[in-house]
């Protein structure tokens, strides 16, 4: 699956879902788990709130396999804030 264009294999996506669940984001974890189960190979159907949840979950101790995803999400967040003036 892809999240903000970053390709995640099933093991890394499962790790992300586990981290999200452990950090208190069960809805986002469930959406990622469903995408894994459905073998989504394109962009995962996630909302901006899901992106914020992923950033929140990866904020403290980000595993090396998810660093690229975190960087892309931060880039996206900066871009959106810049264009919306938020």
pLDDT (0 to 100) of residue 45: 86
Please give the structure tokens belonging to residue 3: 């999240």
- pLDDT tens string for the chain (86 positions)? 999 999 999 999 999 999 999 999 999 999 999 999 999 889 988 988 999 999 999 998 899 999 999 999 999 989 988 998 86
pLDDT (0 to 100) of residue 71: 95
Please give the structure tokens belonging to residue 27: 């809805």
């Amino acid at each position: 699956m892809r999240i903000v264009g970053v390709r995640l294999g099933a093991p890394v996506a499962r790790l992300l879902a586990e981290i999200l669940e452990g950090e208190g984001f069960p809805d986002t974890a469930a959406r990622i788990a469903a995408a894994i189960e459905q073998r989504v190979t394109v962009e995962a159907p996630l909302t901006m709130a899901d992106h914020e949840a992923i950033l929140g979950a990866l904020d403290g101790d980000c595993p090396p396999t998810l660093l690229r995803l975190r960087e892309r999400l931060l880039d996206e967040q900066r871009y959106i804030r810049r264009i919306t003036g938020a």
